[in-house]
Structure 1
Amino acid sequence: MPIKPVEPVEGAGLEEPTPDTGPAPKRRRRWLRWTLAVTAAFLTLLSGTALYIAYIWQPSATHYDSPYMAQIESRYVDTPVATFHYTKTGQGSPVVLIAGGGMWVYSYRNNIRALTKDHTVYAVDLPGQGYTTLKQRGFDYSLDAMSGALSSFLDAVGLQRSALVGHSWGGAWSLYFTERHPERVSRLILIDSTGLDIPSTWDWRPLEFPVVGELIGKLMTKDSAAGVLGKAFAKPGSITPQTVDEDWAPMSRPENRRALWMSQRNLDYSVTQNLMGQVHAPTLILWGGSDRFDKPSEAADMAQRIPGATADVLPGCGHNAHEECPDQANPLMAGFCGPVEGETTARRRE
């Protein structure tokens, strides 16, 4: 008798999987929830700490008995913008020296004497530099703000017209002041100067980002600052421990730290570049041939844009060419400024 095939019953042998409700899966789910909770808490704590450091916490300035400050005759003059720290040496037509970002009058220690033969030399710390104390609230370190600060200093010390020497960011501030106030500048010397509308190197670009820039500036240490300073020189051994200490002590001041990220964000070099054709003061551009921050080719580019400007590239010198190579820089600076007939210091108002 034939065997009748058994019809398959729908679903037979295909049992629905039942939820795995054993102890192991429960432990895995608890572990996952715990991990996510801990991660979220950690990220919240990390973000909160970063925001606290960036916008509330202030680092303490480093105390340092500066041998250089003990050697020079520091002067101070009050304006609505700031109480400016500066030095004044020599006799003759005025020359005002402006250091680069994060630096101060110490930067010109190897140059002042060479200029005092024929000039009264003013070396000034602008807001965010050295031992000048900012007073103006809401100061944003833009070109207009720094030009206004320089103008207030010149007014306070009685200078209606002078030669300007500016290095790096200080060059851009000097250039913009010359563009806006041509009647007040007799000569202009730019040393490894910013001012062209080109991207910054990656050494500075992180300062442009909110929170990141504040963290970099506030958490900067003497060692990290020394690393940046070292890149500004080309020759091994150009930087001594005293050089690091002299630069770091004022740089560690909270307002001077703030000036770094504010300047990087607010200096608009499209403005300085567009106005270069309006510079009528005789202009000398000096550049270190081994500058690792700004390309030496920028000297010629800048000279082509400024009417009558001349450019000299100093072989083997870094970004701080005047500081590292005074034997090359000083004759060029002194020769360019020269003894100037009819240009004397205005009535002293200090």
Structure 2
Amino acid sequence: MTAEPTPPTAAAPSVPPVSPAFRAAYGQALALWPVPVEPLTLDTEFGTTRVNACGPADGPPAVLLSGGGTTSAGWYARVAALARTHRVHAVDLMGAPGLSVPSGRPLRRPADLMVWLDGVLTALGAERAALLGHSYGGWLALGYAVHAPDRVDRLALLDPTQCFAGFRAAYLVRAVPLFVRPGEDSARRFLAWESRGGPAVAPELVRLMGVGGREFRGRPVTGPRPDVAHLGSAAPPALVLLAGRSRAHAVRRVAQTAGRTLPGARIVTLPGTGHHALPELRSAELDRRLVEFLTG
């Protein structure tokens, strides 16, 4: 951590190696945001990180970490409510689909992810921040809370994977085409299966996931479940929001394990919602729960 954080800049120092098709799909998804977006480019030792920011410049920072195979644009349904009270920073994960550009030290292990997120917070000028993570982003957020509890003000996990239970076998089998035949058709079929019976994923995000899967063929850096027992009394206040129709994992098992291993955490299950649709669920109840939690 540096003594004087470097402020973010909106001037991109390099051009992301993405196709016009991906850039167009990204722009269409970002156009779903109901509030003005300020694109930021942050320098870290692993490359440049794209952050989509909104909300009052002097608001307390809230950092949003998206799921695997998705981008920061997918938070469009949450940002309006969060931006009323916080300076929102939605991050494109390094090495994943998005406009972050790996151009420095290779990011290979979970420990590298923690150092990268250290650098992102420092570049944002945030000594402490609320972390909100969905799916894989929940794993990253919880892991970072274990890594640097002094920098995490509050922790909101939206249907986090590989934190309190493993993936269901059927989910992994259904996800195979995303890797062997990546593209819009594979993404559409997979997301339609996972969200069946509940709200669907927006077409713009389905398209972006398909195009991104075709262009970003690397698998995200992952590792074991975060050792939350290591937190002890340093654990930040936590909210775990589960998708009642999630096919990614056994929801009851996740709720039970989260309640047992994160003392004091609020565990809420939202009925009728699938795993991938949760971040973009148009829900006044979800907005209210998040804002009340983040504002204490």
TM range (shorter): 0.7 to 0.9
1:294 aligns with 2:261: no
Question: Deviation of residue 217 (structure 1)?
Answer: 2.7
> Structure 1 length normalisation: TM-score?
0.68
CA distance in 2, matches of 1:165, 1:233: 22
Question: Deviation of residue 170 (structure 1)?
Answer: 0.4
Residues 196 and 272 in structure 1, CA contact (< 8 A), matched pair in contact too? no
- Look up the match of 1:259: 219
**CA distance 1:165–1:240, shift in 2 (3 Å):** closer
Question: Deviation of residue 198 (structure 1)?
Answer: 4.1
CA distance in 2, matches of 1:273, 1:234: 33
Question: Deviation of residue 175 (structure 1)?
Answer: 0.3
Identify which range, 220-229 or 85-94, moves more after superposition: 220-229
Question: Deviation of residue 218 (structure 1)?
Answer: 5.7
Give the secondary-structure state (helix, strand or coil) at the position aligned to 1:291.
coil
State the superposition RMSD in angstroms. 2.8
Give the secondary-structure state (helix, strand or coil) at the position aligned to 1:110.
helix
- Look up the match of 1:101: 68
Larger CA Rg, structure 1 vs 2:
1
Question: Deviation of residue 231 (structure 1)?
Answer: 3.9
> Structure 2 length normalisation: TM-score?
0.80
Question: Please, which runs of 5 or more residues in structure 2 have no aligned partner?
Answer: 1-17
Deviations 1:69-112 (A, max 9, x none): 45743221121112111111112111111111111112210000
- Look up the match of 1:131: 99
From 65, 88, 96, the equivalent of 1:121 is 88
CA distance in 1, matches of 2:172, 2:185: 20
- Look up the match of 1:166: 133
Question: Deviation of residue 190 (structure 1)?
Answer: 0.5
Give the secondary-structure state (helix, strand or coil) at the position aligned to 1:111.
helix
Q: Give the aligned length.
A: 268
Residues 244 and 271 in structure 2, CA contact (< 8 A), matched pair in contact too? yes
- Look up the match of 1:282: 237
From 284, 287, 290, the equivalent of 1:327 is 284
**CA distance 1:102–1:63, shift in 2 (3 Å):** closer
Residues 276 and 305 in structure 1, CA contact (< 8 A), matched pair in contact too? no
Which is richer in helix?
1
**CA distance 1:237–1:192, shift in 2 (3 Å):** closer
Deviations 1:125-151 (A, max 9, x none): 1111422111234422x3222222211
Aligned AA (1:310): R
CA distance in 1, matches of 2:260, 2:232: 9
**CA distance 1:103–1:275, shift in 2 (3 Å):** farther
- Look up the match of 1:238: 200
Deviations 1:34-60 (A, max 9, x none): xxxxxxxxxxxxxxxxxxxxxxxxx97
- Look up the match of 1:250: 212
- Look up the match of 2:183: 221
1:308 aligns with 2:278: no
Residues 245 and 272 in structure 2, CA contact (< 8 A), matched pair in contact too? yes
Question: Please, which runs of 5 or more residues in structure 1 have no aligned partner?
Answer: 1-58, 208-212, 341-350
1:81 aligns with 2:49: no
CA distance in 2, matches of 1:204, 1:148: 30
Residues 130 and 251 in structure 1, CA contact (< 8 A), matched pair in contact too? no
CA distance in 1, matches of 2:134, 2:235: 19
Question: Deviation of residue 246 (structure 1)?
Answer: 2.8
